[in-house]
Amino acid sequence: MLCNATYISKAIPLPEYVIEALSTLESSGFEAWCVGGCVRDALLERHVNDYDIATNARWEDVERVMASSGFAVHRTGAKHGTVTVSRNGHAMEITTYRADGEYTDGRHPDCVEFVRTIEEDLARRDFTINAMAYHPDRGILDCWGGMADLDAGMIRVVGDGNERFSEDALRILRGCRFASQLGFSLEADTKQAMWSHKMRMSHVSAERITHELTEMLLGEHVRDALMECIDIIGAVLPEVVAMKGFEQHTPYHIYDVWEHTAWVVQRSPRTPLGRWAALLHDSGKPGAFFMDGDRGHFYGHPLLSVEIARGALSRLSLSPAFVADVLTLVRLHDKTIPATTKAVKRTLAEFGGDIELFRTLIGIKKADALAQSALSEPRIQLASDLEVVLDNVIASQDAFTIGQLAVNGKDIMSLGVPEGPRVGGILSELLSSVIDEKLPNDRNALLDAAASIAKTQAS
């Protein structure tokens, strides 16, 4: 592929350590540019997390030159021409200009060929907005119309989309992620190519798919991205496809199940846990749906959603503890929890005292209600009231877990109760009585109650 090299005179602020790295390479007779996401994000005035540098220096020369100038150097990808250098805790990847070979596995190039020019290097990149280079003295090098696409809010593939996505199917999900993070639309031909090659994502590892989906869910514009990309992400999450266009036929809803879900994700806590639970909270609705006259019903849909979510999450690279928390949130998202001290304490006890899990549940409940009709306004108020009660419970330092009781397992065994499940059962009864305010969280009162329970059990 040939590009039309266009130089744009525009300054981008760079940290001093990046300027030093560029200067070190160029004072040694090499050429170097900042490339990729750091250029894109700087132009969008977004926070830049990582700086990548491309150079015509071979990795051996990069290692020698940078080390002699006081940079720490690490061989992180010498096979592909990449070394990582750092100064004062700031790391950068420096990679030799390269072109990728064949992608027989649909994900990784079989080999890389080191090339002479930055233009050749930019031609191998995924999207035009990621295919720009910058140097403080030379300005922006834009070979593929990246600046125009930034201005238009467009995600367009570099060159031919069929080639780019055949080479590396992960680029398909990356396009959806960028749409969510940047609020951009997919250019028509690019989107068509993503559709056409979406089944190639079966060659991508679960780890990479999980990462891209999670980053997409965390995007500032996730609602729009989910609406645009449903037919693409359905190739890796087929469980969500049935929600698309599924009308709910109830006065409490103004969207179909998928658009409702997209709004819930947008408004849920911006954490992986909150967004994954929001994505799957109503996945069981199509299966549970039935009509009664002119009214739709979804009785039992949370439990069906749990089973569907369990199947979807089992294919991804997520910890068992994280999956368990998602399933808990999906199961309870539609359960009414009164905004009372007792109800909040009981829920906290059910969550093992996990305050953030409860906060996430409240956030999902509020997002769920906000994505419904005006008839659900009382549910929005209930979620807000729950937040207030939760804060009051935490501030009061009242007991809502066994660990907060004024007695422990050893105390129970000192009453003659043998070690085993009976000890935990008695502690649970004591906690229930404390939550219901039948007993104070007082050591003597709890020991008396425990002795009475043990005596009753023994008789």
pLDDT profile of the chain (459 residues), mean per 10: 75 95 97 97 95 96 96 90 94 92 52 86 95 96 96 97 94 98 98 97 96 98 98 97 97 97 98 98 97 94 98 97 98 97 96 97 98 97 98 94 94 92 94 94 94 85
For residue 311, what is the domain's CATH number? 1.10.3210
Q: Which two tokens stand for residue 281?
A: 């909270």
In a domain, 393, yes or no: no
Token pair of 418 as six digits: 């043998």
Q: What is the pLDDT of residue 1?
A: 54
Q: Is the domain of 230 the same as that of 340?
A: no
CATH code of the domain covering residue 187: 1.10.110.30
Query: Pairing state of beta strands 112-114 and 98-100?
Result: antiparallel
Classified as helix, coil or strand, 297 is strand
Residues 137 and 271 in one domain: no
User: 391 lies in a domain?
Assistant: no
Q: Does residue 452 lie in a domain region? A: yes
- Is 389 contained in some domain? no
Q: What DSSP assignment string belongs to 12-76?
A: ----HHHHHHHHHHHHTT--EEEETHHHHHHHTTPPP--EEEEESS-HHHHHHHHHHTT-EEEEE
Q: How far apart are CA 210 and CA 215, in angstroms?
A: 9
Residue type present at position 168: D
The domain of 229 spans: 161-235
- Say if 45 falls within a structural domain: yes
Q: What is the pLDDT of residue 107?
A: 47
Residues 116, 190, single domain; the answer is no
The residues, ordered by sequence, that sit 6+ positions from 186 with a Cβ below 8 Å of its Cβ are 154, 155, 175, 179, 194, 228, 229
* 144/169 same-domain check: no
Q: Do 19 and 80 belong to one domain?
A: yes
Token pair in block for residue 368: 């769920």
Whether residue 257 is contained in a domain is answered as yes
Q: Does residue 230 sit in the same domain as residue 280?
A: no
